[in-house]
Every structure is written in structure tokens, then in C-alpha cells.
Amino acid sequence: MKLLVTGFEPFGGSLINPSELVVQTLAQATLPGIELETAVLPVAQTTGPAALIQAVRTTQSEAVLCLGEAGGRAALSVERVFVNLMDYSIADNSGNRITDQPIAVDGPAAYFATLPVRAMVEAIAAAGIPAEFSLSAGAYLCNQVSYALLHFLQTEALPIPAGFMHLPYLPQQVANSRVAHPSMSLETMVQGVTIALQIIAGTQR
């Protein structure tokens, strides 16, 4: 099965983004039964969603799992719903700060993820890795690219399962922080995402 997994470039003044590092690591991996395509998306209002949709078109993947950073979370968070709202708490990497704007003027209020989210969470947790469902992907680029992708797939009538997983901070991101943010090692994140991909592809034994 051909799967597309995407991450984001660093943003908000950070020099690293765990989702980018996970994607880069997976790009070098061999997963039996899975032909993996990868992309790192810009954290920008217009080019982020456009890059994701272009990657779907170019790779002709059969399913899509997007990854992003969610500082403060202690588990791999599989998102269930994406809302038609841009309300940035910080500017994107192009300097845009969007407030109370729809992602798609003609779109529905929300889309649900079409990946097997329950099976993903249960399999990751069964491997001893913290995993959880999430009912809020926020109102920044993580939510925006996911909503835009699902709206594109719905509009084009493309039967491609898609969804999003948020990742905690890496230890090096919080090592010198005055706030005790939770973190997770890159190795553990890669293991958890690999399990999710195996569930999506139906290759987990």
C-alpha cells in the first residue's frame, strides 16, 4: 500500500519540529507491505495546504497521515475532527496572523478523520507507548491542512483515508525550559507512528 506521511518545518522561533524529524527518519526506513512517500510542509497559510494537496496528487497515495507538533501533550494524539476555522495564536512562518476566518467559505463546519483512529490508538497503546484520542486539532496549521485535505478529497470524490496525529515535544526542546513540559524521544515517536502506518495499511501482525 502506498502511504503518504507528512510533517511540518519548525515554527514559532523553534529550530526543530518533531514531526519533521519523524518524517525524515521514516523516509530512510523499510516497512514491509508499505510504499512510503514523505513530505515536509511549510507552516504558512497558503503554501502549507497547497503543498499537502500537491503531494497527494503527485504521489497518488492510497492513504495520508499528517503529523505535527503539539507542545504540552504527553501522548501521541490521534485527531478525530477538524473545524472550518483559522484562528492563529501566533503568526505563521510567512508572518500571517489570521483571526476568525473560515478555511473554506463553501465548506462544512467540520470534517472527521477517515483513518481507523480507534485501531491506531489501541495498537500504539498496546505497544506501551502513550496514545490518546483528541477532539481538537486547534485552529492553526495542523487543523487547517487537515481540513483543507479532507475538503479536497470530498470535493474531488477521492476515496483516500486521511487524518492527523499530534506529537509531543522532543526532550531537547524542553531540556532548558523553566516549565516542566512533557516530552517523548524521537525513537518512541517513530515507533508509534510506524504502528499507526501498519494499522492503516493492514500490515500489523
Q: State whether the Cα torsion 9-13-18-24 is positive or negative.
A: positive
Measured CA to CA, the distance from residue 120 to residue 196 in angstroms comes to: 5
b vs e for 33-65, b when ≥16 Cβ sit within 10 Å of the residue's Cβ?
A: ebebbbbbbbbbbeebbebbbebbeebebebbb
User: What pLDDT is recorded for position 177?
Assistant: 78
H/E run at residue 63: strand 63-69
User: What pLDDT is recorded for position 179?
Assistant: 78
- Catalytic residue selected from 66, 69, 79, 151: 79
User: How many CA atoms, within 13 angstroms, populate the side-chain half-sphere of residue 172?
Assistant: 7
Q: Is the predicted pLDDT of residue 16 greater than 80, yes or no?
A: yes
CA 16: distance to chain centroid? 16
Residues 113-147 have pLDDT tens digits of 999 999 999 999 999 999 999 999 999 999 999 99
Q: Return all residues near 51 (Cβ < 8 A) that are at least 6 apart.
A: 39, 41, 42
pTM for this prediction = 0.96
Q: Is position 9 annotated as part of the catalytic site?
A: no
Residues 80-103 have pLDDT tens digits of 999 999 999 999 999 999 999 999
What is the extent of the structural domain holding 83? 2-201
Q: Is position 142 annotated as part of the catalytic site?
A: yes
Say what percent of the chain tops pLDDT 90.
94
CB-based burial label for 12 (10 Å; 0-12, 13-18, 19+): middle
- Catalytic residue selected from 20, 37, 66, 142: 142
Nearest to 85 by CA among 114, 45, 40: 45
Measured CA to CA, the distance from residue 39 to residue 24 in angstroms comes to: 9
Q: Is position 166 annotated as part of the catalytic site?
A: yes
Please state, rounded to an integer, the average pLDDT across all residues of the chain.
96
Domain count, the chain: 1
Contact, 158 vs 146, CB < 8 A?
A: no
User: For the domain that residue 103 is a member of, what is the CATH number?
Assistant: 3.40.630.20
Q: Is the predicted pLDDT of residue 33 greater than 80, yes or no?
A: yes
All three cell numbers of 84: 472550518
Measured CA to CA, the distance from residue 72 to residue 57 in angstroms comes to: 33
- Catalytic residue selected from 62, 166, 181, 187: 166
